[in-house]
Structure 1
Amino acid sequence: MAELGIREELKSGTPSRKFTTSLDDCAFVSPSNDDQQLLAVPFCGSIRDGMRPGKKITIMGIVDSEPDSFDISLTCGCGDVALGLSVTFGDRQFLRNAYVSGSWGEEESAISFFPFISDQPFRIEIHCEHQRFRILVDGQPLFDFYHRVRPLEAIDTIQISGSLIITKLN
């Protein structure tokens, strides 16, 4: 499991993007071993030792009762976005993209089903493999996202914002 720590500073200048994340007032919280503790949203935390093949991040939460969207980003500090996930409820999309060297790549949107329901819990797993991230929701594989940022160890920050409550983060 990914070990998350406190992110001591968030540099200004988050890339302008289609995703709706706003982390200007990011709450800096360190996950507790207490499974019931709710983590403040927006959340910004460090991924200890960065990503590497075999590492997994698990995000458990509850969708708000009247959700608009939520975003999850794995970033290199506050620069490149190695994996930007954006869930939008109005059009039932789960978008993903990467921001590398000052520009966004081609956005991916194809999914076989939309896994999120208002007021319901969910579990997102982000598995880092040699060539890609594999994303599972509630134990079901949903899509793969091939790495656009190297080295993987540079991916050291997770940011979460939007219409959700985080209940556990590993």
Structure 2
Amino acid sequence: MRVPAGSREPAGRTWATRPTWGLHLNPRFDTSPRSVVLNSRDQDRWQQEVQVPADKCPFMAGAPFEIQVHCQEDKYRVLVNGCFLADFPHRIDCTRVDYVCVDGSVLVDRVVFA
């Protein structure tokens, strides 16, 4: 994937069921410093945001990146470019998650399920 240069709100990546979202990963370039916010949404209501420390934000506008989301027993483990970004606890039963959505200004090269 790649976020085009000049993007302000690159993408929301959601592993979810409608209207319940198991994981929402939101890199934010329009904040200073840049940040990554993780959240979930249950019955159309956002839960408490988890903010990744600014010094761990790996996303750069125009630079390619790879996101891996590993669904573990009690959490999602998120890696970017092969490096650990964050663990996010299952707030929604992961058996209810049935799709992946990539939204916003991001160019997707491929999606792999393993």
Taking structure 2 as the reference length, the TM-score comes to: 0.88
| 1:26 corresponding residue in structure 2 | none
1:20 paired residue number: none
Partner of 1:168, secondary structure, is coil
Q: TM-score, length-normalised on structure 1?
A: 0.60
Write out the 4+ residue segments of structure 1 that deviate beyond 4 Å after TM superposition: none
Q: SS of the residue aligned with 2:92?
A: coil
1:87 to 13, 20, 27: 27
1:166 to 98, 108, 111: 108
Amino acid at match of 2:24: G
SS in 2 for 1:82: strand
The equivalent residue for 2:61 is: 118
C-alpha displacement of 1:62? 1.0
AA at the equivalent of 1:143: A
Between Structure 1 and Structure 2, whose CA radius of gyration is higher?
Answer: 1
Deviation at 1:102, TM superposition (A): 3.7
SS in 2 for 1:75: strand
Provide the rounded CA distance (Å) in 2 between the counterparts of 1:110 and 1:88.
11
3-state SS in 2 of match to 1:164: coil
Percentage of pairs with the same residue: 25
> How many positions carry a matched residue from both structures?
108
> Of 62, 66, 75, which aligns to 2:16?
75
Deviation at 1:110, TM superposition (A): 2.6
SS at match of 1:121: coil
- Which residue matches 2:72? 129
Give the Å deviation of 1:65. 1.3
Unaligned runs of 5+ in 1: 1-60
